[in-house]
Amino acid sequence: MHFALDAEQRAFADALHAMLTAADTPAVIRAWSRGDHAPGRALWSRLAGAGVFALAVPQGYGGLGLLPVDLAVAFVELGRHAVPGPLAETVGAAVLLGEPPLARRFLPGLAAGADLATVAAPGGYAVDGDAASLRLCPAPDGLYRAADPGPVRRSLDPARRLTRLSPAGDLLCRDAPYDRALAWIRLATAAQALGTGLALLDRTVAHVRRRTQFGVPIGSFQAVGHRLADAKTALEFARPLVFGAAVSMRPAEVAAAKLTACEAAYRTARTALHLHGAIGYTAEYDLSLWLTKARALHAAWGTPQQCRDLVLAAGL
Amino acid sequence: MDLTHSPADEEFRAEARAWLRAHVPRVPLPSLETAEGFAAHRAWEAELAADRWSVVSWPRRYGGRDAGLLRWLVFEEEYWAAGAPGRVGQNGVGLLAPTLFAYGTPEQRARVLPPMATGEVVWAQAWSEPEAGSDLAALTSRAVRANGGWRLRGQKTWSSRAAFADRAFGLFRSEAAASAPHQGLTYLMFDLRAPGVTVRPIGRLDGKPAFAELFLDDVFVPDEDVIGEPGQGWRIAMSTTGDERGLTLRSPGRFLAAAARLRELWRAQGSPEHARARVADAVIGARAYQLFAYAAASRILDGGRLGPESSMNKVFWSELDLALHETALDLLGAEGELADGAWSEGYVFALAGPIYAGTNEIQRNIVAERLLGLPKGRR
């Protein structure tokens, strides 16, 4: 029993945080939202170079092995910096395509960051189908590779460009490990949401320390401090669920982590919006990039009800 | 990251489980907050102590098993999963004992701890006063120098367990001219049956005398019952509030067991849709609390500290406990109103959680100021 990140994992998080801080992600996100994927793809390559996508790819296919705890470490940082693109979906694709012969064909490109992949959610949209070179569409009779992304629809989170894929085209295999892939996508989404919430909290704490009204920083008011204390508490209790899920990878544990991290991030987003006042309500202010993502992740890859059902059916 | 217990800890778990299976009373004991129930719970502590299960984390010489933090968490999981009785000695074991381990003399430990471990002496806490609640440093009860000790004068209130307990511990103002409210306080232990002590039990919401007022009229306390240096009581009392105590005040095992019972109740009622989300959230909350505790324990074992993070802990478990019991009462429908229902006592107890041990607002202030670095405001 030692439920803590090791020195290497902490250093990995610090290195990603430093890289992403220097990368000016808000500018990258805004370009991505306009359909200009070039800066996002450049950042994607650097993330792949740091080993982010190799954490869901076995060693024989250009990966580092299946390392869900390290993947969660990375995705907290991706969330913290609101990195755009089909991040969790690329991880899911690596798991869906993880068996030979497909693995040999697709995994090296995913691990190296040469390929971005998206996966159509059941009955829903695929994120960033226009940016992905690999569009996977799971269907009852097998896993399809969609040729055409279809028209892009705008998400409430401008960085997520939604397309609807149809299960037609290239049938890649009949029995892809969909449940396993779903657990990985959910874990990545949970960690990303946790990072999103942590960034919202940090930005809001900085704001209420700076912003003065009635002659004092508004952060000195209890009504303000207590909302932020609740956000902090919710996030810090979501964190061990996320890493506990990464350790076990049991679907019910992953669902609990996904639900709790997304709830905590969304509650934090509401608090962040409120405490920023009107400036937080503008698209121009960068806070909006995290605010809208918190809402989108909340519903992505498992609604609260679906996650709760899994928990009640299997127990934790 | 590793969430598996060592084989030795699993052996310890098996031993605890077997003992509990053989000893836990089949019929629940009467309420701890009645004279009859208090006596029954005291006898249960003696039974636990006879086989060294009452204070597993203490050193062997005081009746424990030298169990580390992880093993204590394991024991608590087994204890509550077995449906074992509430702990009448909790105030002494959870609050006074850690203070004695940190600041007591060897003589005090040898004298106070063994009878605490067996339940022979049950301790009540004496912190709050009529005009000193959240603002504890505003307390005015005095300790006045006397020959060979001190004389206590004043009034304490909301003293949990004091209606039936034997002794109490708390803070008293020993220097009239101290420069700040939290200075000049002394940490003392005293006998609730000493001359000059009047105990007036107070009925909590369900009428049971779960706490009491203490009137102290020149109560003599010998020097040997002062903990640490006179005048240093505030520092002594506060130094152990954040650390392990933040973790050990309410163990995850308690909530895991309650959440499991709630899930069973929900199923027994036909898995009603209206409670689905709340039952799931209770199950998840208990698991989150358990994992948070394992993370905190790992940090402490690595030489780290818990500190102000324990304030998040307190807010989290007290709200979880209340939500869990409210959900159970809702599931029970008309039966939930009964005062002697299976969840009633737990519900009434849970109602107090956000108030005692530092109100949740005090805890949020600590989180805001000490974890988030927000400027201190007016209280």
On the question of pLDDT at A239 being above 70, the answer is yes
B106 assigned to some structural domain: no
B38 assigned to some structural domain: yes
pLDDT for A316 equals: 87
The answer on A69 and A33 residing in a single domain is yes
- Give residue B328's Cα distance to chain centre: 23
Q: Is B340 on the interface with A (CB under 8 A)?
A: no
Domain of residue B308, CATH code:
1.20.140.10
The answer on B180 and B138 residing in a single domain is yes
- Where a domain ends, among B69, B88, B107? B88
B109 assigned to some structural domain: no
Structure tokens at B143: 């300790």
B378 assigned to some structural domain: no
**Which sequence positions of B are flagged as catalytic?**
244
Cβ separation of A240 and B292 shorter than 8 Å?
yes
pLDDT for A167 equals: 87
CA distances from A140 to A186, A290, B225 (A): 20, 35, 75
The answer on B255 and B161 residing in a single domain is no
Q: A65-66 and A56-57: which strand pairing?
A: antiparallel
pLDDT for A169 equals: 86
The answer on A235 and A170 residing in a single domain is no
Cβ separation of B291 and A225 shorter than 8 Å?
no
B105 assigned to some structural domain: no
The answer on B269 and B220 residing in a single domain is no
Q: Is A8 on the interface with B (CB under 8 A)?
A: no
The answer on B225 and B163 residing in a single domain is yes
Q: B185-191 and B167-173: which strand pairing?
A: antiparallel
pLDDT for B339 equals: 92
| Residue-wise pLDDT tens digits, A108-146 | 999 999 999 999 998 889 999 999 999 999 999 999 999
The answer on B349 and B293 residing in a single domain is yes
Q: In chain B, whose CA is at the least distance from the CA of A315? A: B283
Q: Could you tell me which of A249, B205, B83, B256 has the C-alpha nearest to residue A258?
A: A249
B248 assigned to some structural domain: yes
On the question of pLDDT at A290 being above 60, the answer is yes
- In the three-class reduction of DSSP (H, G, I as helix; E, B as strand; rest coil), residue A271 is classed as helix
Per the DSSP assignment, residues forming a β-bridge with B187 are B171, B227
- In the three-class reduction of DSSP (H, G, I as helix; E, B as strand; rest coil), residue A52 is classed as coil
pLDDT for B246 equals: 66
What's the rounded mean pLDDT across residues A66-89?
98
pLDDT for A137 equals: 96
Domain of residue B142, CATH code:
2.40.110.10
pLDDT beneath 70: ranges in chain B? 240-246, 379
The answer on A141 and A67 residing in a single domain is yes
| Residue-wise pLDDT tens digits, B154-203 | 999 999 999 999 999 999 999 988 889 999 999 999 999 999 999 999 99
The answer on B308 and B206 residing in a single domain is no
**For chains A and B, what is the number of CB pairs under 8 angstroms?**
153
- Where a domain ends, among A135, A155, A177? A177
- In the three-class reduction of DSSP (H, G, I as helix; E, B as strand; rest coil), residue B309 is classed as helix
Q: In chain A, whose CA is at the least distance from the CA of B266? A: A312
Q: Is A150 on the interface with B (CB under 8 A)?
A: no
The answer on A87 and A46 residing in a single domain is yes
- Where a domain ends, among A127, A159, A177? A177
A1 assigned to some structural domain: no
- Where a domain ends, among A153, A177, A201? A177
The domain in which residue A307 lies consists of 180-314
The answer on B165 and B74 residing in a single domain is no
pLDDT for B242 equals: 59
Q: Is A233 on the interface with B (CB under 8 A)?
A: yes
A239 assigned to some structural domain: yes
The answer on A87 and A211 residing in a single domain is no
B379 assigned to some structural domain: no
Structure tokens at B378: 């007016």
Cβ separation of A237 and B316 shorter than 8 Å?
yes
Per the DSSP assignment, residues forming a β-bridge with A127 are A162
ipTM: 0.97
The answer on A166 and A46 residing in a single domain is yes
The answer on A55 and A172 residing in a single domain is yes
Cβ separation of B3 and A232 shorter than 8 Å?
no
The answer on B249 and B136 residing in a single domain is no
pTM of the model: 0.97
Alpha helix (H) ranges present in chain A? 7-22, 25-33, 38-49, 68-80, 87-96, 102-112, 178-210, 222-248, 251-276, 287-299, 304-314
The domain in which residue B136 lies consists of 123-232
Determine the Cα–Cα distance for residues A51 and A57; give it in Å rounded to an integer.
10
pLDDT for B77 equals: 98
| CA count, 13 A, side-chain hemisphere, A57 | 28
- Amino acid at residue number B206: D
Contact B98, B244 (CB under 8 A): yes
pLDDT for B131 equals: 96
Q: Is B269 on the interface with A (CB under 8 A)?
A: no
The answer on A243 and A115 residing in a single domain is no
The answer on A238 and A148 residing in a single domain is no
- Where a domain ends, among B33, B66, B88? B88
Domain of residue A250, CATH code:
1.20.140.10
Residues 6+ apart with CB under 8 A from B353: B317, B318, B319, B321, B322
The answer on B139 and B78 residing in a single domain is no
Q: Is B262 on the interface with A (CB under 8 A)?
A: no
Q: How many domains does chain B have?
A: 3
- Where a domain ends, among B43, B64, B88? B88
The answer on A189 and A155 residing in a single domain is no
B1 assigned to some structural domain: no
pLDDT for A213 equals: 97
Q: How many domains does chain A have?
A: 2
Q: Could you tell me which of A49, A127, A71, A61 has the C-alpha nearest to residue A97?
A: A61
B98 preceded by cis ω (within 30°)? no
- Nearest CB among B302, B368, B372 relative to A4 is that of B302
What's the rounded mean pLDDT across residues A23-46?
97
The answer on A167 and A18 residing in a single domain is yes
A66 assigned to some structural domain: yes
A185 assigned to some structural domain: yes
pLDDT for B266 equals: 97
Cβ separation of A229 and B364 shorter than 8 Å?
yes
On the question of pLDDT at A30 being above 60, the answer is yes
The answer on A265 and A173 residing in a single domain is no
What's the rounded mean pLDDT across residues A176-183?
96
pLDDT for B239 equals: 79
